[in-house]
Chain A
Amino acid sequence: MADRGRVSAYRALLAAQVRAQTQYRFSFWLDAVSSSVVSLLDIVAVLVLFRATPALGGFSVAQCLLIASLCNVAFSLADAVVGNIDTMRQYIRTGRLDSILLRPMGVLPQLVFGDFAPRRLGRVLQSGLVLAATLAWIDPQWTVGRVVLVLAAPLAGAVIFASVFVAGSTVAFWFVESGEFANAFTYGGRDFTLYPISLYPGWFRKVFAYGLGFAFVAYYPALALLGVPDPLGAPAALAWCSPLVAVPAVLAAALVWRVGVRHYRSTGS
């Protein structure tokens, strides 16, 4: 019974947000249109770079597009669900988190639903269409394995991105004025994932690709879909390891989040 009440409370929060944002109609539509263009930009950027060069890190334009569009689906999914978490630093700085902690609801869902942007759902749809178009262009030889991979990889990738979002937001528990710090790993992680990891310098690649798991969002699954060996020499089996990276990522993020909430002391404002 308590659960049903909770669900309807979240639904009310969500509905209030949608209503509030559609109040100013011109602003809402401009937002919706611009947002879907913004999320296409990463793809456009890849195409523009290929105007200046025939190959990027040893990959052709179609191959790079596959990596970028896999990244885009995973990121837009994660962004739609928990992307709002980066407003948490404002909640902490202004002390508004206090009122959220007082309510008998989860802190994370309140933050997520409390500033939900309907436009984010459009991005998921749009990135899915781009991925489908890219796959139609490349036309990989479809096997059961590849079908499973193309469905599972974006989900696992979304979980990895979402974990980084949540873990990154907790920095504000310790450094109140943490500003854009988490962006280095959330949006930075997306930018890293957009391109073949073979073009990054060694230590930097190690941190982002393996330390944070971003290589498993798009790069390794794309290699398997393309049937191309890794120029860095990694075994082909890594394409299937995305879920194995996603699970510990969630556990780590959950742990950091709990420690953060426990550690929270109000700013007193």
Chain B
Amino acid sequence: MAPAAPGARDVAIVAFGQSDHRRSTDELSEVEMLMPVLHDVLAATGLKTGDIGFTCSGSSDYLAGRAFSFTMALDGVGAWPPISESHVEMDGAWALYEAWVKLQTGDCDTALVYSYGKSSPGSVRDVLTRQLDPYYVAPLWPDAVALAALQARALIDAGDTDEPALAGVATRSRTAARANPHAQLRGSVPHGDYVVRPLRTGDCPPVGDGAAAVVLAAGERARRLCERPAWIRGIDHRIEAHGLGVRDLTDSPSTRLAAERAGVFERPVDTAELHAPFTSQEVVLRKALRLGEQVTVNPSGGALAANPVMAAGLIRLGEAAARIHSGASERALAHATSGPCLQQNLVAVLEGDPR
């Protein structure tokens, strides 16, 4: 899995698309929300659904409130006649990882990865409690904001941040999101009242619906599909112990290890797209990834500007790739997370060809 593994294939993100993220899209079914995004990435590469070697998606039945909800979305990719397809009940970043592995096997040269989440039908704070340890934690119904707030307090106690600094993270993110036409929250947003102290509304991500898709391609195929492919130089994901009280919440060793294995620390990156739905989590990630002030963090606005659950991590990979595609970045880091308090973390390094 190391970036220079012998025989590893060069694989790149060659196209990225996302929906406009909105508080509610109840006029659209999942497939209706997803389809324009799929068409965007196919149009960008000139590929048709029948040309794609492997399709992988990420979504959650708990968000939809229905079993096997992903099968309905498959209508949007033209799944008949039968295609080579897989699904992860996780953020689409992990679907991208699976597709990357598939491309490494040499089975195919192209892959379509998509993910989507509609938080609007339910209450996402309550829905996310169902992913917690069912014996000791889930019966207490601690919501996602409460768990993030415990982490924020631990950081403040450790002297790693304070409430004004957290407000600064929120302001910087949403100011950056002014340039992102897809973002849900942009520009000046009040720091607001405490939701679960010490986190205020401004420290929390917007709740919304959205979808994202990328196309991956290997070797020469990538060069033919994209002027400046975003080569995945390394990608890795790691997990923490599930017991929150076992972990040091002020640190993210799993992120650091994934970054090490992905080759992040071999050379500086110029951009980092971090999946930090709460302001306090950016503090943890910057420390774990040793990001200095010279690195542009979340030029898209990050998850504080738009957090479609199950797609927000894939969007970080897509946004980082888009910066490579446009020439705004030479070497970018993309991070995705899943679970409470940064429990699972995926890190990738993307590079453009030298110019």
Are chains A and B native binding partners rather than an unrelated pairing?
Answer: no
Residues of A at under 8 Å CB distance from B? Answer: none
